[in-house]
Amino acid sequence: MTIMELDVMTVTGLIASVALLAGFALLTLGKLTAEHYTYQWLNVIGAGFLAYSAFVTEPINMGVFLTEVIWSLIGVYGIFKIWRKRRVRLHRHQALQRRPLRHRVRLGRRRPLRHLAGLPHLPAPQRRADGRGGPAEHPGLTGPGSVTDMDHDAPAPHPRHDPERRDRIIDAALDVIADDGVEGTSLRKIAARAGVPLGSLTYYFDGREDLITEAFLRFTDLSAAEFRAASAAADDLASARETVVSALTSESTVEERGVSLSIEIYALALRAPRYRAIFLRWVRRCREAMSRHFDWPTTLVLDSLYEGLLIHRHLQNHAHDEALIRLAVERITPPESYHGTGEPAGPPPEERFL
């Protein structure tokens, strides 16, 4: 066996080991499932390279070779199964959209309330006077919102005909996160807060993580847009300072909901790359708005003041006095720090935080 062959086998074995260990670790930690392409591809790559190592060994290790080939084929079948399942789901969805609305919802049969007959506090239901099937009215069960007032045959509105549903779900997700934190947030809580069926969440989002990601994108986009709009109206040093003070004392900054959501995205950004990307995007947009009036050193200090005040409000459960914040802003922004061009003060410095 030559040195080159030994090196190839070593590299092959390392690739196989890393792929299989990564797949097993991500599966154990709950980051992946058998329904993810990534997990199946890791199995195919790991088993395939192990099969290659067993094949080139002299003599051939036939037991390991056959085992890894079978394992690799199982991974290929898993990939095909995921692809077929998603393709069928897509075709069903497309076919559903092409059908008339009246055929999109399975209409349930109107069931008489015969199961209420045995309840001691209700009289037994009687046949309606007009001779049609179904229960007669029960005392306490009639009127708006009652059981007999519900139209069981009315189809539920399809998501396409409820364009505001997705926004309601995202807003409800932000409310739940603000109240219970990300760890205490579940799809069931979000659906209940939004007033939509639990299953309808999967129409818009791929799962809990996808929904939480969209929620934080909504929160940070609105926050950055609000600050950029206020900053654009400033045309001198005094109004630029006032913009910063307003941002530090505005309702969205002081209210418990906004503070809680900010703290949650900070915590997530420490360890989760997807949330770190959202956080950095948020910070860059806010800094860019401030740098249209102040130089970059001043912008970075003002941003740090903003982040620090948020944390203090969350932990100390009170807002700092506006006069104190105004004084701090005036000291941080001397006249020489204001350039007033309305354009960012050059390229941003390298970001070394997080």
Block means of pLDDT (10 residues each) for the chain, length 354 residues?
58 81 80 81 85 79 83 86 78 56 39 38 44 42 40 45 83 93 93 91 90 93 86 87 84 74 89 91 88 89 85 69 88 90 62 43
**Beta carbons of 189 and 174 less than 8 angstroms apart:** no
Q: How far is CA 292 from the centre of its chain?
A: 31
> Terminus-to-terminus CA distance in the chain, angstroms?
48
Round to whole Å and give the CA distance between 244 and 174. 25
Answer yes or no: are the C-beta atoms of 61 and 41 closer than 8 Å.
no
User: Quick check: 185 and 177 in contact, CB under 8 A?
Assistant: yes
pLDDT of residue 260: 86
What is the three-state SS of 63-78? Answer: HHHHHHHHHHHHHHHH
pLDDT of residue 137: 43
Q: How far is CA 153 from the centre of its chain?
A: 34
Output the CA angle 225-278-90, nearest 5 degrees: 100
CA angle, 250 as apex, 284 and 306 as ends, to 5°?
A: 40
Q: Find, among 306, 297, 290, the residue nearest to 341 by Cα.
A: 290
CB-neighbour burial class of residue 215 (10 A; exposed 0-12, middle 13-18, buried 19+):
buried
pLDDT score for 161: 56
Alpha carbon distance 247, 223 (integer Å): 10
Q: What pTM value is reported for the model?
A: 0.52
Closest CA to 76 of 33, 117, 41, 35: 41
Confidence (pLDDT) at 111: 38
3-class DSSP state of 294: strand
* DSSP code for 302: H
> Which of 265, 190, 179, 163 has its CA nearest to residue 222?
265
Q: Is 218 exposed, middle or buried (0-12, 13-18, 19+ CB in 10 A)?
A: middle
Closest among 242, 272, 259 to 307, alpha carbons compared:
259
Measured in whole angstroms, how far is the alpha carbon of residue 128 from the centre of its chain? Answer: 50
